[in-house]
Amino acid sequence: MQVIETNLPGLVVVKPRVFQDERGFFLETYNEDRYREAGIDCGFVQDNHSKSSKGILRGLHYQITKPQDKLVWCLEGEVWDVAVDVRPGSATFGKWYGVTLTAEDKTQLFVPAGFAHGFCVLSDTAQVAYKCSRPYAPNDEGGVLWNDPDLAIDWPITAPTLSKKDAALPPLKNAKLPT
């Protein structure tokens, strides 16, 4: 397993070791001891799985008083995954990082608590899985508008399909931030 630091402290790209031959492949998507040794030690308690069509954008989401660490990867297709530092007082507050996740290369993104997270689908369909360190709490949801001009995220699509909730998210300067 290779762990690649990003320009945002705590946010890392993980390249799991993949064993591939004529039969297919095998990999460990998560091994507590190995991930702990790599600095990812957060006690995951919930797994999520979504399927979306091309042009769908989900995000940018976080929880306010019960922030979650997330380990994200793509099971089918291709997505562009984004994390934004929304930790008040952070030296990288408002900065973002984006990475393409594909079912083919099996790269993962570890998104620490205090980051907003979202992705857009680049392939015809995509399935995304992620582990969370805390259960989802609907009444604790926060978020930031995907195209907030102050963030200037370089999304690879210009007119995504959004949920009504995501379309109504505030810009970062008006968002209720994680505590």
If you compute the radius of gyration of the chain from its CA atoms, what whole number of angstroms results? Answer: 16
Helices marked H in the chain: 32-37, 164-167
**Could you check whether the bond before residue 151 is cis, i.e. omega within 30 degrees of 0?**
no
Burial pattern 93-130, b for ≥16 Cβ within 10 A else e, equals ebbbbbbebbbeebbbbbbbbbbbbbbbbbeeebbbbb
Instruction: Name the one residue in this structure whose structure tokens are 């008083």.
Output: 65
Question: Among the options 61, 62, 97, 117, which is catalytic?
Answer: 61
Catalytic-residue membership of 49: no
Tell me if 9 sits within 8 A of 92, measured CB to CB. yes
Question: Among the options 35, 62, 97, 130, which is catalytic?
Answer: 130
The token pair at 138 is 């609907």
Question: What SS3 class is residue 140?
Answer: helix
Report the catalytic residues: 61, 130
